[in-house]
Copies of this chain bind each other. A is one copy, B any other.
Amino acid sequence: MDRITETIIEADASVPVIRMTRDFAATPERLFRAHTDPVLFARWVGPDTTVTRIEHWDARTGGSWRYVSAHDGTEYVFRGCFHEVRPDRIVQTFTFEGDPDGVALETLWFEDLGDGRTRLRTQSLTESFESRDAWLRSGMEVGVDDGYAKLDRMLADDAV
């Protein structure tokens, strides 16, 4: 099976969804931990130029989360609730507080590739194509690429 080492970012043609696919050299358990442990998550999420501080984190079904990413003295706040947290799938809501009425429904799947690697698939559903396309134009790929490269290094260093 081909290895997906660069994140594939796709816009669905018929529904306002962004999908991403990326493989990691880790078991599903380790990748899940990197997404649910707040100390680990804060170390890798987002662009290299930002520092993330977790303000609230309860990564359980029915829990919620909020974090602040600081870049050049400006703070960007994100928050949501965890609809479901289970070993193979996380479903959560996502709001950037700079656009407080915007809400996305995000799903992450951890797919065991059977050789110590895991395929992460994500889906972000918004209420309109305008909202979805604004995300695609926002430069989000910088945060995605930087973040997953940091996560690659943490996994290689056995930091997760």
Contacts and interface: CB of A to CB of B under 8 A. Distances in A.
A68 interface: no
A125 B127 contact: yes
Interface of A is mostly: strand
Given A80-B83, A93-B91, A129 B62 contact: no
Contact of A93 (B16, B81, B123): B81
14 contacts: A56-B62, A62-B63, A62-B79, A62-B81, A81-B82, A81-B83, A83-B93, A89-B101, A91-B93, A91-B103, A93-B93, A103-B105, A105-B125, A105-B127
Contacts of A91: 93, 103
B103 A83 contact: yes
Nearest to A65: B62
Interface centre among A82, A83, A89 (most CB of B within 10 A): A83
Interface in A25-56: 56
A138 interface: no
Interface in A89-123: 89, 91, 93, 95, 101, 103, 105, 107, 123
A152 B65 CA distance: 36
